[in-house]
């Protein structure tokens, strides 16, 4: 049986932050064609750095309890988590292999509710300690699917990390689903940037923004 992290952590809940849509978009790296689609910056580069510090410190500490590890595999959920995962892995001070998985579930801004593995994990994770890195938990369906998909491969343990969680959007059937480590709980808005996309665009923005309707 797979052993999961004992406790789950939420580092920063910004749902009640007053200024959440009032940051000006001042970064030079925003193309004009994108700037007009941004309603506001939800998480600045500085905010993201705080989240990364908090989550990496906790994971570095928790991984020390895996004294008999047969190896740790960090699985990035493509494509949304690629930037978060790249930043996170450079703050992890233990040996690990990297891999990735891609699950399709989302068409435009509406979740379809059916899940499919589009790109399978390459390594054998049997008997290994797995850390899954996700961009965002929304209805909870993708994370629920991924947990079941990975547990079927019999890893020694499974930990899940999410940059963002839109807790208020959780479907009732997935009410129990949350990442073991969540950097930011955010309000129910559609977000882009820092890896998150709208039909493939905006992933390269260095902050998390709210998309204009």
Residue 162 contact partner, candidates Mg ion, ligand XMP, none, CB within 5 to 8 A by sort of partner: none
Q: How far is the CB of 106 from Mg ion (least distance, A)?
A: 5
Among 41, 42, 56, 80, binds Mg ion (CB under 5 A): 80
For ligand XMP, the closer of residues 55 and 192 by Cβ is: 192
Q: How far is the CB of 75 from Mg ion (least distance, A)?
A: 17
Q: How far is the CB of 160 from ligand XMP (least distance, A)?
A: 12
Buried b (16+ CB within 10 A) or exposed e, 112-135: eeebeeeeebeeebeebbbbbbbb
Q: How far is the CB of 213 from Mg ion (least distance, A)?
A: 17
Nearest residue relative to Mg ion (C-beta): 80
Residues 185-204 that bind Mg ion (CB under 5 A): 197
Nearest to 84 by CA among 22, 132, 138, 145: 132
Residue 136 contact partner, candidates Mg ion, ligand XMP, none, CB within 5 to 8 A by sort of partner: ligand XMP
Q: Tell me phi and psi for residue 46, to 5 degrees.
A: -65, -45
Q: Tell me phi and psi for residue 130, to 5 degrees.
A: -110, 135
Locate 31 and state its tokens.
């193309």
For ligand XMP, the closer of residues 63 and 146 by Cβ is: 146
The binding site for ligand XMP (CB under 6 A) comprises: 80, 105-106, 111, 134-143, 190-192, 196-197
Is 138 a residue of the active site?
Answer: yes
For ligand XMP, the closer of residues 124 and 188 by Cβ is: 188
Long-range Cβ contact pairs of 48-54 (< 8 A, separation 24 or more): 48/87, 48/183, 48/194, 48/207, 48/208, 50/12, 51/11, 51/12, 51/163, 51/183, 51/184, 52/87, 52/88, 52/91, 52/183, 53/91, 54/11, 54/12, 54/183
For Mg ion, the closer of residues 174 and 202 by Cβ is: 202
CA–CA separation, 92 and 211 (whole Å) = 31
Residue 111 contact partner, candidates Mg ion, ligand XMP, none, CB within 5 to 8 A by sort of partner: ligand XMP
List the catalytic residue out of 129, 138, 180, 197.
Answer: 138
Q: What is the largest CA-CA distance in the chain?
A: 52
Active site residues: 138
Binding site for Mg ion (CB under 5 A): 80, 197
């Amino acid at each position: 049986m797979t052993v999961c992290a004992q406790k789950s952590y939420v580092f920063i809940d910004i749902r009640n932050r007053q200024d959440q849509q009032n940051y000006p978009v001042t970064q030079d790296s925003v193309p004009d064609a994108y700037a007009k689609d941004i309603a506001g910056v939800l998480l600045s580069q500085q905010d993201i750095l705080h989240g990364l510090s908090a989550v990496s410190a906790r994971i570095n500490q928790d991984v020390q309890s895996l004294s008999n590890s047969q190896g740790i595999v960090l699985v990035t959920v493509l494509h949304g988590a690629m930037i978060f995962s790249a930043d996170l892995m450079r703050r992890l001070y233990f040996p690990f292999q990297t891999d990735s998985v891609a699950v399709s579930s989302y068409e435009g801004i509406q979740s379809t509710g059916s899940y499919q593995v589009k790109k399978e994990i390459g390594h054998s994770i049997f008997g290994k300690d797995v850390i899954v890195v996700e961009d965002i938990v929304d209805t909870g369906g993708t994370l629920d699917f991924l947990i079941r998909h990975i547990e079927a491969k019999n890893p020694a343990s499974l930990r899940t990390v999410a940059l963002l969680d839109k807790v208020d959007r959780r479907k009732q059937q997935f009410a129990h689903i949350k990442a073991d480590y969540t950097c930011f709980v955010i309000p129910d808005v559609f977000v882009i940037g820092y890896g998150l996309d709208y039909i493939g665009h905006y992933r390269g923005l260095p902050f998390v923004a709210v998309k204009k309707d």
